[in-house]
Amino acid sequence: MIKLKYSKLLFLFFVPLWILYSCESTSLEPENEHPRVLAKKSDKKRILKNIQDHEWMQRSFDDIKAKIDPLADQHLKDPQWILSRMLMHWGPYYSGFTLEPSENKYDHNINLETREALSPVPTVRTSAYGGHSHMSDHSQPKFPELKDYPIYWKDDKYTVTSRSNPNLTENILLGNLIHDWNRKISDIGAEAGTLYYLTGEKKYAKLAADIFMQWVLGIYFQNAPKLGDDLDRPYGFLGGHDLNDPNYKTMVVSYDFAHDYIVKNQKDYLKKLKDDGYLKGEDITSIVDSAFYKFLKDGTFKGGWAQHAWSPNNHTMKASELIWMALAIDDKAKRDECMEVFLNENPQLRQPGGIWEDIWLGQVPWKLFHENSVDEETGLWKEPPAYHAYPMRAACRAAMALDVNGYNPWQEFPRFLKAQYAQFRFTFPDGTLVSFGDCSPSTYPDAVDLEFAIAGAHRAGLVKQEKLLSSYLQSMIDRGHYKRKADYKQLLYFVPQLLSNHKINDYMYRTDHVSFSGLYLQRLRSSDSENGLMLQVNAGNYVHSQSKGIDMEFFGPGRIISSHSGTRYPYGSKLMTEYYVRSAAANTVIPNLEELDKEHSNLTLNVMEPKIKEEGVSSLCSFTDVSFKFNETNQRRISGIIGQPDSGGFYIDIFHSDHPKRNDYLFHANGNELKVLSQENETLQGKSTNLFTEEGSGFQYYSDKLSYTSKNSMKFQFLSQDLKGKDVMLNAFYPETKGNVYVTATSPLNFKNKLHKNISEDTRKTVAIHRNKEAWSQPFIGVYEAYRPNKQNIKEVEQVWSSPKGDVIVSVKTLTGSYLVISSISDEKITYKDIEFEGGYAVISLTKNNEIDYIYLGNKTSIKTKGITVSSVGPLNLIVRDGNISYRSEKIPEISFSDKYILKK
């Protein structure tokens, strides 16, 4: 049994046991034996049997071999073919660098005039430009094929073509593109090393070893950048951005698997350097240890988090991948120092006399980033959903290495294990994720993260968790969202066969909440992509959130029909900064053309039924009532789902905003076609308008604007396609309100990715309702029904009653009956025809014969109608069938009724 020990300096301090890992080796192999990072010698037999016995693993192995074989064969004939394509400092051999601030507040540029050329070998190319490589329009450059990589490239600039605009070609400073390109070659080395480990063929060892040795000697003779006066920006060993260094974690795999070959041939690798006097007694192991230690200490730890305790964000998790590098160091004192930083919150390290007193560790230790960055209740990474997969994938790679080396990351951090399936709680019925902030919509949870977690749970003996995780993965496979496959590291770690017997619907709650984003969702038929309903509202208040007011998105048959705006264009692009981050891109109400003056904001929940994680009193109805402060304007949004008994249903949206001068209600739906109809289905003709043209508000990106006015209710009909290319319709009904001006427009598409390959749309259609007065006493009201062609149910929507204090009753007439939706924000008694009501929210469902079908009371309410009187201290659903009354409620209500009814017990 091997325990993690600490260097002499560490023994000077008492470190509480509860913050330390125990490290028990899973085998009796010597501590410094290679390979050990992702697999050990003793694992080889198991891995080969899995490949032999399971078709998907054999297929994955064959794919890797088919890729590497021609490269390995070519490398035997011409080693420089691939080595010359690595982006190195081919001359001069720069080894010293000074950073200067870039225009991006999060990174630096390299000062090209002050570089020092003191290395005897080519060094690894640093990022002249600190941030993401981008074109003048902020689009991303296109990756060249490996065969088209420049050979012995010396210039700091390179001519690239835009990935999204083939007509745009520019000569740009290479930023992170350097490391993205080098990662392709580094990955080839790792794949070759893995094949050598599994097959023993030396052609793979030579390819892996040569790639690694060119890289590691460059690192050995170069230094981390020097930082100027501006310390409040992260950087890495290889340039002015801290996210670049982890691209080289795969060099560790080449070294670890080809270690015996490298040691055996070290004379060839080091001869010239020794002959020229640059090396004396150093051997391969000491050179690699020094290079890895310097890379971590001077780059990843010191640079990536110098003065940076400001954000528990994905930079932290990305760096955790470099645990691979720490584990590969043979010098025990150096390895233990690095592992102590990665694993434990140990403030003594930074005290005077501590090992790294000048380094602020920020959120690097696993203990800290799990406590501060992963939401305890949901297991979500505290950023928009698309960002969740990015750091979690990095953490899973780190966890794999920790697990193989006898640590217990999956057991020690149950919050981390939970994080790998947390996103499923927040998916629409088709399996796509909710979205908010600068996260793009219509993506699935990350199946590969699930695979890592399944393997971790299996190795840790966590059978219940393994079955649950497997059930989530199996659901993605069954839906066609994922097909099992593996790259080289996954081939070594993933389980070959899934255990699956859980019903994942048990975790798809009727209502749910993400606290750090101010997100509230409600759903019906959670996994039925054809008949399911789901709606969410949010107002972000955390990292990568965008404050645009109370936003909304909801689901229709086969797809999210009205989705979050997302970020279709890159950071810094004109369309991004002038439209996508602004309220004009959201489904919200903008008071007086204002933009929020707070970077982050949040919703206040007034009422939600069902309560979070509870089943609720009704199988068909739910609602959310939230409040929000838009600068000085008070806003309140009541949104509800009203389902049909067997399939479908509709949404209702009631939005109050008290700005006295101007309020604009905005609604965007996906699709290329929009018709404007009267309540009688007559097509209406619009007029050109100057509304919504204001510069700086985002409205300047609306095109094809037409205005409409009507004394009656309005109906807007959208046509789009689901992810399979089938037509989906959406009817948006807006009851007549005096003073409304309706404007239709074409707005920029929110997002389009590989999930949308069957969808023809390239824009969104927008309805904007303009009002030159307050919208509190007369709130905006929208009723939305999404359906397949010729399957609509709603015939007519009308506001039949309102009060000066904002209380409303909305009538929705359908082919099968009608509904009265009552919303009261005043707590005053409402009297309408035979209805007497006191409370907040209610739905009265009526049959074709105008008889009561059910009464849904969303919160503390009393109601009297059609011979039935109910007083309830909480939510209640009362159903009438053939004169028999039954109900479901949180607490026993008071019910009285006429002789025509019988209470069914």
If one compares 832 and 167, the residue with the highest pLDDT of the two is: 832
**435: pLDDT strictly greater than 70:** yes
- Cα-Cα-Cα-Cα dihedral sign, residues 380, 381, 382, 385: negative
Confidence of residue 268 (pLDDT cuts 50, 70, 90): very high
Q: What is the pLDDT of residue 599?
A: 59
Q: What is the pLDDT of residue 546?
A: 73
Percent of the chain with pLDDT over 90: 58
Q: What is the pLDDT of residue 111?
A: 79
Least confident of 68-77, 160-169, 250-259, 663-672: 160-169
Q: What is the pLDDT of residue 592?
A: 95
- Domain-by-domain residue ranges, the chain? 509-613+622-788, 793-904
Instruction: Tell me the mean pLDDT in the region 301-328.
Output: 65
Instruction: Tell me the mean pLDDT in the region 324-343.
Output: 90
What residues pair up with 747 in beta bridges, in sequence order?
764
Highest mean pLDDT among 102-106, 241-245, 288-292: 288-292
- Give the span between the Cα atoms of 48 and 38, in whole angstroms: 15
For the stretch 742-792, pLDDT in tens is 999 999 876 655 565 666 666 789 999 999 999 999 999 999 999 999 999
Instruction: Tell me the mean pLDDT in the region 538-545.
Output: 74
Q: What is the pLDDT of residue 12?
A: 29
- Give the span between the Cα atoms of 903 and 417, in whole angstroms: 49
**106: pLDDT strictly greater than 80:** no
For the stretch 803-822, pLDDT in tens is 999 999 999 999 999 999 99
- The pair of three-digit structure tokens given for residue 37, joined into one six-digit string: 């990072």
Confidence of residue 352 (pLDDT cuts 50, 70, 90): low
**Which amino acid, residue 560?**
I
- The pair of three-digit structure tokens given for residue 250, joined into one six-digit string: 């795969």
The runs of H, that is alpha helices, within 527-623 are: 574-575
Tell me, what DSSP letter sits at residue 130?
A: -
Highest mean pLDDT among 41-50, 553-562, 855-864: 41-50
Least confident of 163-172, 272-281, 668-677: 163-172
Contact between 188 and 82 under an 8 Å Cβ cutoff? The reply is yes
**32: pLDDT strictly greater than 50:** yes
Report the SS3 class of residue 722. Answer: coil
**253: pLDDT strictly greater than 90:** yes
Confidence of residue 706 (pLDDT cuts 50, 70, 90): very high
Q: What is the pLDDT of residue 311?
A: 46
Half-sphere exposure of residue 205, counting CA atoms within 13 Å on the CB side?
18
DSSP 547-567: --SSEEEEEETTEEEE-----
If one compares 97 and 204, the residue with the highest pLDDT of the two is: 204
**4: pLDDT strictly greater than 90:** no
Instruction: Tell me the mean pLDDT in the region 65-70.
Output: 98
Q: What is the pLDDT of residue 18?
A: 30
If DSSP states are collapsed to H, E and C, what string results for 33-80? CCCCCCCCHHHHHHHHHHHHHCHHHHHHHHHHHHHHHHHHHHHHHCCH
- Sort strands 551-556 and 559-562 into parallel, antiparallel or unpaired: antiparallel
For the stretch 119-163, pLDDT in tens is 999 999 987 766 667 777 777 788 789 999 999 999 888 888 887
**400: pLDDT strictly greater than 80:** yes
The strand order across the sheet containing 663-670 reads 589-591, 663-670, 763-771, 741-748, 703-708, 687-688
Least confident of 39-48, 123-132, 273-282, 636-645: 123-132
Least confident of 273-282, 505-514, 592-601: 592-601
Q: What is the pLDDT of residue 722?
A: 85
Mean of the per-residue pLDDT values for the chain? 86
Q: What is the pLDDT of residue 104?
A: 62
Which CATH number is associated with domain 509-613+622-788?
Answer: 2.70.98.70
**241: pLDDT strictly greater than 80:** no
**13: pLDDT strictly greater than 50:** no
Q: What are phi and psi of 361, to 5 degrees?
A: -80, -10
Least confident of 355-359, 449-453, 664-668: 355-359
Q: What is the pLDDT of residue 237?
A: 83
Q: What is the pLDDT of residue 823?
A: 97
